[in-house]
């Protein structure tokens, strides 16, 4: 947000947060929070990784922060020319991915997700939407309808009800320094103080901190880089990035020997022999799509796939809290609990050949109903056809327009990266179309002597995909970390001559 922009009422909305600090240690012991604060904390899990990369790259009270390899991936997408993606909407989808939990987050008083909420559009030609078959409904403005006209007639489907966040109105919570969310009961506090080894109760002091969206962005940043986000936040300590050395246990070191079946993506990687690091992968559009799709994955869905072990210790704690909060007294319903524990991709945001076990929320079936009022024909979108006896002159079932698809091109609609084509993916997941860079200048920039480079051919299945995804959260060497077990000297084929 530009500093010159006048803050609206909503932007300066503040929620008081009561924190209990140990004056001797300059440490936050815990915070006591109500719905407004806890809802926004839990909403972190609904944010797609691309949204997180975008939000933490902005100034707040603390400087911009980079998240593992996601920040360079996000940055690279902002530089991809639209011609390398199936449609120009693909780029918008990757840079501003929607959350599938939009209906829960829109009413949050401290909602930090600045992505525009979903709107629905029909063809500008109402006659086209009145066809009995194959009329289209789009969730992006100005898509090209099958008739060639633009889809820019906004409609408001009736069934979209906004939910009031995640937790019950009257519930209160304890938030630990590591962002665990616990029920606010006396026993919890006693246990917590015992575990923290607090000896001098007299040194405990209560403070109130005002939380606006700006402070929530601070907390999001700290939750990704600090082990004690509340302490660092309240005492304005510099994020101690050096201290934050996640135990980056690889996905493969878990002794899980179950056979990895399913689709594989074959990529060629260039490894630097002297340090066994991947310099880059030379990949077709399927691997580029896998990496690009990371930006659309909700954080909670990533945690679900990684079984709660992301190596972002505070996010792991926050995620674990959901399983321990009862839907009878704390969360608004069992459904909310299940959705928060496993959020899916927003409608139409997943890629069709996704190897990762993440689903997509589907849109309901919508009907376009028209009626004449005065001299004009009006349109209403509903989930069931409207009968003629109520004055509707037509009702037709709408098909959902895939924003990743160019009308008339049967190969499209699968993913984001346009193929057949080659992409270069660097160790920190920057994705660049091969055609827009020169191989010579790229090798020059990587500063690796040619004799030190070696080619390996690797097939990537679900385990490898999860390995790269996990590493992307904390490491700027996501490919090397995620594929460590595959770049040992197997399948060795030295590059004697690089065709440059
Ligand atoms: Zn049309």
**Per-residue pLDDT reduced to its tens digit, 98-155:** 999 999 998 898 999 999 889 999 999 888 887 767 789 999 999 988 888 999 999 9
Q: Is residue 225 part of a domain?
A: yes
* pLDDT confidence tier of residue 19, bands split at 50, 70 and 90: very high
Residue 119 forms part of a structural domain? no
CA 141 to centroid of ligand 1, rounded, Å: 13
Domain holding 229, by residue range, is 11-107+162-351+404-494
Helix (H, G, I), strand (E, B) or coil at 265: strand
CA dihedral 12, 18, 20, 26 (to 10 degrees): 10
CA distance 449 to 279: 11
Tell me, in angstroms, the distance from the centre of ligand 1 to residue 175's CA.
52
- Contact between residue 176 and residue 19 where contact means Cβ atoms under 8 Å apart: no
> What is the CA(128)–ligand 1 centre distance, in A?
5
CA of 126 to the centre of ligand 1 (A): 8
Going from the Cα of 366 to the center of ligand 1, the distance in angstroms, rounded, reads 16
| Ligand 1 midpoint to CA 145 (Å) | 5
9 has a pLDDT exceeding 60: no
DSSP string, 376-431: EEEEEEESSPPPGGGTEEEEEEEEEP-TT--TT-TT-SS-SB-SS-EEEEETT--E
Least confident range from 46-50, 160-164, 301-305, 462-466: namely 160-164
Taking the centre of ligand 1 as the mean of its atom positions, its distance from the CA of residue 137, in whole angstroms, is: 10
| Ligand 1 center to 13 CA (angstroms) | 43
Q: Which percentage of the chain shows pLDDT scores above 90?
A: 63
List 173's β-bridge partners, or say none.
Answer: 33, 183
CA of 143 to the centre of ligand 1 (A): 10
Mean pLDDT calculated for residue range 369-392: 84
Q: What is the pLDDT at residue 495?
A: 44
* Cα dist from 276 to 429, 457, 463, 485, 492, whole Å: 17, 14, 20, 11, 12
Taking the C-alpha atoms of residue 366 and residue 385, their distance in angstroms, rounded to an integer, is 8
Task: Determine the distance separating the centroid of ligand 1 and the alpha carbon of 406, expressed in angstroms.
Answer: 14
The span from the CA of 19 to the CA of 438, in Å, is: 55
3-state SS, residue 30: strand
Give me ligand 1 centre to Cα 152, in Å: 10
Report whether 407 contacts 145 (CB < 8 A).
yes
Token reading at 293: 């799709």
* CA dihedral sign of residues 248, 254, 259, 262: negative
Domain assignment of residue 131, yes or no? no
Task: Flag whether 150 is in a domain.
Answer: no
CA of 134 from ligand 1 middle (Å) equals: 10
Strand order in the sheet with 493-494: 431-433, 422-426, 277-284, 265-272, 453-460, 493-494
Q: Are 123 and 136 in contact (CB under 8 A)?
A: yes
Q: How many domains does one find in the chain?
A: 1
Give residue 260's pLDDT band: very low, low, confident or very high (50, 70, 90).
low
Compute, in angstroms, the gap from residue 11 CA to the centroid of ligand 1.
39
Contacts of 81 (CB under 8 A, 6+ apart): 433, 436
274 in a domain, yes or no?
yes
Cα(375) to centroid of ligand 1, in Å?
22
User: By the 8 A CB rule, do 298 and 21 touch?
Assistant: no
* Cα(362) to centroid(ligand 1), Å: 23
Q: How far apart are CA 423 and CA 286, in angstroms?
A: 10
In the structure, what pLDDT confidence band is assigned to residue 259 with cuts at 50, 70 and 90?
low
Mean pLDDT, range 258-275, rounded to an integer: 84
> Does some domain include residue 210?
yes
Q: What is the mean pLDDT of residues 307-334?
A: 93
Q: Does the pLDDT of residue 411 top 60, yes or no?
A: no
Among 143-147, 279-283, 368-372, 403-407, the range scoring the smallest mean pLDDT is 403-407
Q: What is the pLDDT of residues 167-211, one digit of tens each?
A: 999 999 999 999 999 999 999 999 999 999 888 889 999 999 999
Q: Which helix (H) or strand (E) holds 225?
A: helix 213-225
As a whole number, the mean pLDDT across the chain is 87
Could you tell me the distance, in angstroms and rounded to a whole number, from the CA of residue 62 to the centre of ligand 1?
48
Tokens 């994955």, located at residue: 297
Residue 281 counted as domain residue = yes
Task: Measure 364 CA to ligand 1 centroid, in angstroms.
Answer: 21
Q: Ligand 1 centre from 398 Cα, in Å?
A: 12
Question: How many whole angstroms separate alpha carbon 232 and alpha carbon 217?
Answer: 13
Q: What's the pLDDT score for residue 498?
A: 44
Q: Is residue 4 part of a domain?
A: no
């Amino acid at each position: 947000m530009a500093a010159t922009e006048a803050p609206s009422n909503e932007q300066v909305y503040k929620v008081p947060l009561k924190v209990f600090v140990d004056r001797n240690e300059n440490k936050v012991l815990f915070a006591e929070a109500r719905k407004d604060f806890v809802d926004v904390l839990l909403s972190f899990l609904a944010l797609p990784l691309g949204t997180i990369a975008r939000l933490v790259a902005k100034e707040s009270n603390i400087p911009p922060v980079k998240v593992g390899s996601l920040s360079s991936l996000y940055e690279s997408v902002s530089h991809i020319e639209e011609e390398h993606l199936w449609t120009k909407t693909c780029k918008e989808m990757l840079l501003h991915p929607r959350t599938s939990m939009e209906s829960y987050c829109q009413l949050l008083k401290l909602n930090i997700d600045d992505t525009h909420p979903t709107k629905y559009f029909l063809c500008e030609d109402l006659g086209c939407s009145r066809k009995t078959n194959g009329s289209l409904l789009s969730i992006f403005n100005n898509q090209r309808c099958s008739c060639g006209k633009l889809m820019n007639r906004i409609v408001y489907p009736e069934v979209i009800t906004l939910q009031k966040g995640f937790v019950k109105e009257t519930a209160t919570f304890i938030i630990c320094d590591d962002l665990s969310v616990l029920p606010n009961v006396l026993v919890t506090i006693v246990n917590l103080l015992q575990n923290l080894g607090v000896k001098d109760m007299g040194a405990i002091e209560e403070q109130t901190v005002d939380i606006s969206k700006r402070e929530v962005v601070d907390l999001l940043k700290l939750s990704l880089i600090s082990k004690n986000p509340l302490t660092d936040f309240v005492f304005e300590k510099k994020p101690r990035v050096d201290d934050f050395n996640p135990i980056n246990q690889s996905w493969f070191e878990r002794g899980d020997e179950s056979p990895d079946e399913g689709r594989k993506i074959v990529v060629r990687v260039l490894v630097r022999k002297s340090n066994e690091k991947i310099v880059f992968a030379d990949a077709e559009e399927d691997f580029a799509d896998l990496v690009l799709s990371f930006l659309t994955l909700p954080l909670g869905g990533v945690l679900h796939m990684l079984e709660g072990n992301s190596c972002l210790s505070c996010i792991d704690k926050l995620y674990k809290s959901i399983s321990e909060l009862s839907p009878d007294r704390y969360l608004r319903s069992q459904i909310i609990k299940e959705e928060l524990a496993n959020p899916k991709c927003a409608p139409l945001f997943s890629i069709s050949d996704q190897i990762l076990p993440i689903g997509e929320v589907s849109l309901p079936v919508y009907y376009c109903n028209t009626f004449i009022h005065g001299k004009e024909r009006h349109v209403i979108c509903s989930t069931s056809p409207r009968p003629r006896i109520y004055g509707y002159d037509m009702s037709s079932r709408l098909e959902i327009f895939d924003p990743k698809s160019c009308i008339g091109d049967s190969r499209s609609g699968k993913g984001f990266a346009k193929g057949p084509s080659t992409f270069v993916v660097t160790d920190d997941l920057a994705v660049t179309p091969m055609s827009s860079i020169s191989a010579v200048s790229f090798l020059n920039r990587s500063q690796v002597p040619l004799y030190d480079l070696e080619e390996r051919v690797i097939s990537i299945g679900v385990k490898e995909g999860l390995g790269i995804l996990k590493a992307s959260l904390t490491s700027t060497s996501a490919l090397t970390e995620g594929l460590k077990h595959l770049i040992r000297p197997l399948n060795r084929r030295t590059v004697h001559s690089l065709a440059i």
